[in-house]
Each structure stands twice: as structure tokens, then as C-alpha cells.
Amino acid sequence: MPATDTIIVRDLLVRGIIGLNDWEREKEQNVVITLEISVDARAAGESDDMKDSLNYRTITKDVIAHAESFKPFLVEALAHQIARIVVVDHGAERVRVRVEKPDALRFASSVGIEVERTAADFS
């Protein structure tokens, strides 16, 4: 049975176009992304060699590039696409993605969604 370890990238701040309102389609806004990437890190823990691990720096760069260029209407769409990048493009076993818009509601610190996906969700 494979071990389930988690690489965590917490509160990645990006700026992008996201939302349904006209003003949201014209002006970039803050989007906060958290990734919890399930991996089997035993080999990397034993070898201390990057080739045995997922490169979270590369994953993060791809997520940032996508979040800045995608321009979705819904946080759901952005979270789903980010999950695809992590699982399909980078081979993670599973990922939990949280996408939040800190300035979406006046009396809330943020509004967002959290999704969890595996490769089976994209076949």
C-alpha cells in the first residue's frame, strides 16, 4: 500500500481576471490558491534526490501562469483546471485545490471553493 504524503503550497497569491461582473472582467484581482498534493515521498525521503520527488517549484510556476492567463468566470473552473495541471501534467496521485477571492464579498475575508481530483477525473 503506497504511503500518502502531502506537499503543501499554502496561500499562493496571484493576480488575474476572474468573475462574472463587468468590473471583474476588466481589472485583475487577487486570487489565493492553496495546493495539497498527495504523493508517495518515501523514495525522496530515503535518497534526498530531487528526481525522486515532485518539483513543487515547477508545479507552482505552471499554476501561476495558468491562473494569470485563463480568465475564467467561475472559481470552480479555475480550481478544476489547476487540479488538471497538477495531476495530469505533473503526475501527482491526488490534489486538493482551494481557490479563494479575498475581495469578493464585503463582509467576508474571502469566498472560494475547494476541489479534490485524481487522474481518473480527467480520463
Residue appearing with cell numbers 505533473: 90
Q: Is the pLDDT of residue 42 over 80?
A: yes
What are the tens digits of pLDDT across the range 93-120?
Answer: 999 999 999 988 889 999 999 999 999 9
Whole-prediction pTM: 0.92
State how far the Cα of 117 lies from the Cα of 123, in Å rounded to an integer.
11
What are the tens digits of pLDDT across the range 56-91?
Answer: 999 999 999 999 999 999 999 999 999 999 999 999
CATH number of this structure's domain 5-122, picked from the four choices 2.40.128.20, 3.40.710.10, 3.30.1130.10, 3.40.50.300? 3.30.1130.10
Q: Is the pLDDT of residue 2 over 80?
A: no
Edge to edge, what strands does the sheet with 29-39 contain? 5-16, 29-39, 94-101, 111-118
Helices marked H in the chain = 22-26, 42-47, 56-69, 75-84
Domain ranges of the chain: 5-122
Q: Is the pLDDT of residue 3 over 80?
A: no
